[in-house]
Amino acid sequence: MKQALKYLTHLCVLLLFVSFTAFAQQQGATTGGLSGAVTDQTGAVLPGATVVLVGPQGSRTLTTDSLGRFAANGLTPGFYDVTVTNSGFKKWESKHNEVVVNVSSTLNVSMMVGNVGETVEVTASAVGIDTQSTAITTTLTDTFYNSVPMPRNVSAIFYAAPGVAAGQVAGSPGQIGPGQANPSIGGASGLENLYVVDGVTITDQAFGSIGTYNRYHGALGTGVNLSFIKEVNVKTTAFEPEYGKALGGVVQIVTKSGSNHFHGAIGAYFGPGTWYASRFQYYQFGFQQVTPPSTLSSPQYDAVVELGGYIPHFQDKLFFFGSFNPQLNQTIMQANPGAPAPSVALGPLTYSTTTMSWAGKVTYKIGAATTFEASSFGDPSRHNTQPFALGSSGLASYFPQTTASNWNYGSRNSVARITTAVTPTWLVNAGFAYNYNHFDEIPATTDYGITDASANSLLVPGASVTSGLGAYEPSTNDTWSIEANTSKTFGFFGQHTVSLGYAYDHTNFNDRPSRSGQLFPIPGHNAAGQDLTTLFSNFPAGAVGSLTNAIFRITATNSDPTLTQTDRTCTQCPINSHGQQIYASINRGTYKGLVVEALGRYHTAYVNDVYQMNRYISINAGARWEQQRVAGTILSYVFTGNWSPRLGINIDPVGDHKSKLFFNFSRNFWAMPLDAAIRQLGNEQDDTSFAFAPVINSNGSFTIIPDAAHTLNGLPRSTNSSGVISKFGAPSFASSTGEGIIPGTKGQYGDEYVIGVEREMTPSIVVKARWTDRRLIRIIEDIGSQSPEGSTIVPNFNGGIANPGPSTDIAVNEQSVKYTPAQFAAKNNPNTVTPATYVPVQPGCTAANDTFFAIGTFFINGLNQQVGGVCILNLAQADAGPGDGIPDGFVRPVRRYQAAEFEVDKRFSNHWLAVANLRWGTLYGNYEGAYRNDNGQSDPGISSLFDFTPGILNLLGDQFANGVLSTDRRTVGNLFLSYNVGTDTPFLHSLKGLTLGSGLRGQSGVPLSLLGNHPIYLNQGEVPIGGRGAAGRTPSTLQLDLHTSYDVPLGRFTEKYRLRLAMDMFNVTNSQFELGRVQYTQTPSSSVGVAPPLNSDYNRPTAFQTPFYARGSVRLEF
């Protein structure tokens, strides 16, 4: 209660300050502006002229000031007719001037002397060059996306903005991640954007995705339907101070509103599977160790009902708009022909998601100066029950129904806002928003998730097969937000537009990390009765006996293809149908933290002054303050001191609002998603690498009995070609308990510099060019004090979330000496050596500090080459905190994005529109961001990149070395064109109502690498070998899409009704370029130091362009 009162007091003080201070006008989150100057033909200003704007929700009358200027702010997006009258001059009219959100479009008026009864109608329209703002925003209205070929999802619109590229590059077939819904903007990963609809944030609070995101299914719903969208603004750089929380882009979506005319539509959109061309399938490329399923087609169907207008008897006052958009999205999939026969026998399977999107909006103009607006929207969705088909081993099971599940998800969002103009130059705005998001999944059976990879080790490798669902993660979260801002215009050595605002977000998150199958107690002894806590020193207190969940991996005891079918070293291990001895190991288990409550509290305040010194120069100077509190079940932390300066300079060389030169500097802080709090500030404790002897059933399935009688850790596993016997090593444990966030850790931020030029070439055509330089300065990541080799033997550990860098010092450094396998063999027989017979390999080595006895063998690199081991000479002190005054060995995190962008924007006029843009750029460094494409990790702020110090064996290879990052695309370009046939169109006027549109997109390929497994976590895709991008690039891609629509004449009903038939065709050349390739050099490992089979599927394709497909639609509008 005291905390709540404190925040309430702060808010009241702020609002009082707002109420008694003069501030400048700005455009709101859902409105735009129109301004200009009125002159006579000699250029003399005309004060006192009357300016009337007529738009969707009535009219507004203005009077020019002493300098002949007028400015209308807070306008509903749409088209406006402008009329200007002044005594002694002819009436001036300009029709169809488009107003878009967050931009004050310029419309300058030159009046002719004459009778006011005469009218001069001009064809010039408002220019989209805002000479008072340096923000880089691409505005994409419904006029645009309805006139060109565009998929039926809001995320597809984002890619029309310059430089926006795919945020995910799959390292394996079907890799889960941000997908197409979350693009890379400004060099950031796909999970670093902010998505806002009508002022309510629809960004997933745990991961940073749009809408709903799940760790095991990736990006799902977007939270808003396309029929509700009026305009999409993609802010790529140079954000205004009121925007932040993102290191990528800010995507602002504005919904449709009612007007003074009733309008609506009933429509249907259909893209049946038969309208898809055949596509490349993975089985055509010779995959051996995995059998990725085939995608046959992706049928899409949806219907739309829209209605908008005004409430009877409240014309010009009360407006409404509503939309209902049921959708059926399907994917027809089939098992790879090389998959197990029971999966192949299922034939084509239909994976269906049914979404019932809805939306509603009410606008009430309380008076001439006050507007209240409220909107609500949601996308409840349900997926049918089918066998698991994602990833490289989807639909690859002898028992496919055990992998099945169904899930439902969606979000519900509401926002209310009131805006009032206290005076013509003083605007006050306040709002409340609520976002609710959930994901629920139900496994069809209670079987353990098991991947049988034993056939990977055969001379002719076989594919992995699965059973059971494995990991799944239901979650629920909600966020309520309040905001208040105000603006005022005043003169002081020029014109100032000063604004100030405050916002607060209050988030609660419930997460339930789960794995199919029964919980079981962690064993304390192996099958020989040996105490595991005595054999291995890394058991945490209380671990033995704790109930854990798990997913398992079946592996051959000997991965050498020449020995795998003859080695019989493990006396407890059963023999499979290939003649291999096999065992089951825990790939991942969790024994504490199975239900986590996390929270986030975010405060934001900003101030900005748009200072127009004269008609040529304006300066944007502002600052933004942010404070984020995150908490899990047991720990809490506050990121403080997050100040972001913003500075922009505009120069209008001629002073006619038709051109500008500009520079902008800004600092942007990132709002860390709550996944880090869920896992790092909760009580998550994980266990891996327990080895068990499975039971092979008569039908070929496995029964895993995870008790002491079947535990193999510490027992002989295999014998290599030199006769050396290796044992099952120690299980591994990882814990976030007590780590938390290291005191002094600050928020993650980057700096950016932008310089550019914009010019109106002709009425409605604007060209733009700019250079952007973005640099990550400080990051938030989970770090640990141990090296990979040290983690297997050192009892001490210090770590947590921090700002890693070259000066980081959190623990006593390891004092290590290393040796090669040959040096060890020269002193000891690896097959027979025991701690009692051990001869020191290097000075200071003992059996107690030599890693050989911890893992039972030597460490290997990403090419399965043994590299030796180490002795930790200061075993008792190593890796304990606090620091020892010597940096721990971390490097400076680097992500630098540099790009030149060029645009030509032709707003719709004279029947046609055009949007063309080209970006050339580079993305360089050692840190990808919140999403890691190399290993497919969706763990913002707690990825594995800095979990270990480098160590002296270089087991992390080139992980910390700088190079081209995974989404580095040198060139990305778009060209959209549309033409609407009218009665004045030469030769084609008889086809009035016909619209022809096209979209052409090209982009260069992405870097390819050789990525070895993590030496401790055993995950694929962790360690670059030979540097990032050492394996070349994927090919460049090009795609041509076409759109055509025709308004069918309806005779005498044509004035009131419009029947529109449309067809969109995508990838008309059916170019199925490769979008990614397998970059993993090894199959997943089973234990530390155990060489897994090399990946024979390396460099095979992981994704292709979607083949040609078409979508038709029928829409009746009124």
Query: Taking 60 as the threshold, does the pLDDT of residue 21 lie above it?
Result: no
| pLDDT tens track for 102-116 | 777 778 888 888 777
Percentage, residues of the chain above pLDDT 70: 96
Task: Return phi, psi of residue 79, to 5°.
Answer: -105, 140
How is residue 413 written in tokens? 């969002």
pLDDT at res. 121: 67
pLDDT at res. 1087: 83
- Residues 655-671: what's their mean pLDDT? 93
Is residue 536 within 8 A of residue 525, CB to CB? The reply is no
Q: Are strands 104-106 and 32-40 parallel, antiparallel or unpaired?
A: parallel
Query: Taking 90 as the threshold, does the pLDDT of residue 819 lie above it?
Result: yes
pLDDT at res. 20: 32
**Residue 304: strand pairing partners:** 267
- State the pLDDT confidence band at 916, using cuts at 50, 70 and 90: very high
- Residues 931-954: what's their mean pLDDT? 93
Domain ranges of the chain: 31-126, 137-445+475-511+894-1117, 816-873
Q: How many CA atoms lie within 13 A of 352 on its CB side?
A: 11
Three-state DSSP class for residue 70:
strand
- Residues 50-55: what's their mean pLDDT? 88
Backbone angle region of 147, left / alpha / beta, with phi > 0 → left and psi within -120 to 50 → alpha: alpha
pLDDT at res. 888: 96
Q: Are strands 194-197 and 250-255 parallel, antiparallel or unpaired?
A: parallel
CA-atom Rg of the chain in angstroms: 32
pLDDT at res. 199: 85
- pLDDT mean across residues, the chain: 91
- Residues 302-317: what's their mean pLDDT? 93
- Residues 158-174: what's their mean pLDDT? 91
How is residue 226 written in tokens? 């396309």
Distance (Å, whole) CA 781 – CA 801:
5
pLDDT at res. 738: 58
Within the chain, how many helices (H) and strands (E) appear? 8, 65
Query: Taking 90 as the threshold, does the pLDDT of residue 610 lie above it?
Result: yes
- State the pLDDT confidence band at 478, using cuts at 50, 70 and 90: very high
pLDDT at res. 602: 97
- State the pLDDT confidence band at 737, using cuts at 50, 70 and 90: low
pLDDT at res. 119: 67
The dotted CATH code for 31-126 is 2.60.40.1120
pLDDT at res. 70: 86
Is residue 353 within 8 A of residue 382, CB to CB? The reply is yes
Q: How far is CA 72 from the centre of its chain?
A: 36
In order of 205, 293, 511, 514, 540, the CA distances from 192 in angstroms are 11, 30, 21, 26, 35
pLDDT at res. 29: 62
Task: Return phi, psi of residue 273, to 5°.
Answer: -60, -30
pLDDT at res. 964: 96
- State the pLDDT confidence band at 736, using cuts at 50, 70 and 90: low
Closest CA to 713 of 529, 456, 519, 548: 529
| pLDDT tens track for 699-728 | 889 999 999 999 999 999 999 888 889 899
Query: Taking 70 as the threshold, does the pLDDT of residue 968 lie above it?
Result: yes
In order of 147, 541, 808, 1097, the CA distances from 987 in angstroms are 21, 85, 73, 57
Three-state DSSP class for residue 393:
coil
Three-state DSSP class for residue 1017:
coil
Query: Taking 70 as the threshold, does the pLDDT of residue 8 lie above it?
Result: no
How is residue 23 written in tokens? 């501030």
- DSSP class of residue 522 equals P
| pLDDT tens track for 199-238 | 889 999 999 999 999 999 999 988 888 888 999 999 999 9
Closest CA to 732 of 590, 633, 521: 590
How is residue 470 written in tokens? 């494995």
Distance (Å, whole) CA 1055 – CA 322:
23
In order of 497, 498, 611, 690, the CA distances from 25 in angstroms are 6, 7, 12, 64
Contacts with 253 (C-beta within 8 Å, 6 or more apart), sequence order:
154, 195, 196, 197, 198, 224, 229, 231, 232, 233
Query: Taking 50 as the threshold, does the pLDDT of residue 591 lie above it?
Result: yes
Distance (Å, whole) CA 672 – CA 749:
11
**Residue 70: strand pairing partners:** 36
Distance (Å, whole) CA 417 – CA 429:
7
Query: Taking 50 as the threshold, does the pLDDT of residue 180 lie above it?
Result: yes
Backbone angle region of 1051, left / alpha / beta, with phi > 0 → left and psi within -120 to 50 → alpha: left
- State the pLDDT confidence band at 25, using cuts at 50, 70 and 90: very low
Closest CA to 134 of 620, 461, 639: 620
pLDDT at res. 788: 96
Distance (Å, whole) CA 583 – CA 1075:
36
Is residue 756 within 8 A of residue 916, CB to CB? The reply is no
Query: Taking 90 as the threshold, does the pLDDT of residue 190 lie above it?
Result: yes
